Amino acid sequence: MTFTTKIKEEITKNNVSDLESLVELSAFIRLTGQIKKNKIILTMENASVARRIYKDIKTNFGVNIKIIVRIQKRFRVKHIYILEISEKIDFILEKLNILKDGKKTLPEEYFLDTDEEKTSFLIGAFLACGSINDPSTAGYHLEFTSSTKKEGDFIATLLKNFNINAKVLKRSNRYMIYIKSAEMISELIRLLGATNNFFYFEDIRIYRDHKNMVNRLNNCEIANQEKILKTGLKQLEDIKYLHDNDLIGLLDENVQEAIKYRESYPETSLQELADIISTETGRHIGKSGINHYFIKVKKLVEKHKEQKKL
């Protein structure tokens, strides 16, 4: 069972008011229904969703519904559930705020007046055309699809009401409304009422965030170690040049002392070298002091190399 299926099955088990079921049904038929002159056809692959939509139609309109179950054997065996409505078509579509004066329109403002109604519309939309990646096996991605850009923008606007940012992208002959933010996907799952799957998603998200943080820290530590080694090797290279050219005696005693300690501890950082010198000599010196000494070493090497070129 996919993560999307688990969420849809959990959603369909929640109880809703008659008004909420009406709004939910409006979104579902709008986004996935085949609307013909004398018939509405709804096709689903999820039995729980089929039962929910059947109940919503019966509760709100009391019409006869033809149920067709087909078995599809392409790639894997699955059941296809088809609901056909052939009564009160115009009345149903106008009641659901899908048609006005015989033309398909976006829902009017009064139809989605409250946050509860907007949430119900999003629930119906997700049951109709929503999908989400399982966070344990893939990246964070949740999407809806619609046949027109206007409907896609409308869903994105509804999501924006709940501080969930979605983008609309044309894909083939349809439009994809998608979310990539883990936090926003988590919030939408909670909003849809899939509490158990919300906690599952959060557990995975927290684990992945922690793992990513540890990886970042490890990468920083490796980068710091590489930087320390690179700095130490360059200082040892300068020190060797001073020895080869008999220049050590031109430096003061403190710098010469730092050079000896660097030769004894080639892989230590400047701070560690400062701590070692402070402990062993009883003379406090900080990281900046050690760095200053090796700047003198570097300048002496550079000066001597320049003079040799003349």
- Kindly state whether residue 232 falls inside one of the protein's structural domains: yes
Phi-psi region of 75 (alpha: psi -120 to 50; beta: other; left: phi over 0): left
Distance between CA atoms of residues 76 and 97, nearest Å: 37
Residue 115 to residue 159: CA distance in whole angstroms: 11
- Determine the pLDDT at residue 108: 86
Buried b or exposed e, range 169-197, using 16+ CB within 10 angstroms = eeeeeebbbbbeebebbbbbbbbbbbeeb
pTM, full prediction: 0.69
Q: Are residues 96 and 59 in the same domain?
A: yes
3-state secondary structure of 77: coil
Residues 141 and 287 in one domain: no
Q: What is the pLDDT at residue 146?
A: 92
Based on the fold, state whether residues 189 and 220 are members of the same structural domain: no
Is residue 200 in a domain?
Answer: no
Helix axes 47-61, 3-12, angle to 10 degrees: 30
Q: pLDDT of the chain along its 310 residues, tens only?
A: 899 999 999 999 998 888 899 999 999 999 998 888 889 999 988 899 999 999 999 988 989 999 998 887 776 777 889 999 998 888 988 899 988 877 788 888 888 989 999 999 999 999 999 999 998 887 889 999 999 999 999 999 999 999 999 999 998 889 999 999 999 999 999 999 999 999 998 988 888 877 777 778 777 877 777 787 888 788 888 888 888 888 888 888 888 888 888 888 888 888 888 888 888 888 888 888 888 888 988 888 888 888 877 6
Which residues, in sequence order, are bridge partners of residue 80? 70
Our count of domains for the chain comes to 2
| DSSP one-letter code for 25 | H
48: CATH: 3.10.28.10
The verdict on 162 and 243 lying in the same domain is: no
- Looking at the structure, do residues 224 and 186 belong to the same domain, yes or no? no
3-state SS class at 238: helix
In a shared domain, residues 240 and 139: no
Within a domain: 203? no
Asked if residue 157 belongs to a domain, the reply is yes
Q: How far apart are CA 295 and CA 235, in angstroms?
A: 9
25 and 161 inside one domain: yes
Distance CA 256, CA 250 (A): 9
Find the domain containing 129 and state its range: 3-193
Q: Residue 81: helix, strand or coil by DSSP?
A: strand
Rounded distance between C-alpha atoms, residue 194 and residue 218, angstroms: 36
Boundary residue ending a domain (193, 226, 255):
193
Residue recorded with tokens 């096996």: 137
Per-residue pLDDT at 277: 87
48 and 177 assigned to the same domain? yes
Dihedral pair phi/psi, residue 7, rounded to 5°: -65, -45
Do residues 231 and 133 share a domain?
Answer: no
By DSSP bridging, strand 167-171 and strand 174-179 are antiparallel
Residue 202 lies in a domain: no
pLDDT at 310: 65
Q: Is 83 inside any structural domain?
A: yes
- The DSSP 8-state label assigned to residue 98 in this structure reads S
**Do 171 and 41 lie in a common domain?**
yes
CA Rg value for the chain: 34
The answer to whether position 60 is within a domain reads yes
Q: Tokens 């320049």 map to which residue?
A: 306
Going by the DSSP 8-state scheme, the letter that residue 38 receives in this structure is T
The verdict on 179 and 221 lying in the same domain is: no
Q: Are residues 184 and 230 in the same domain?
A: no
Q: Is residue 204 part of a domain?
A: no
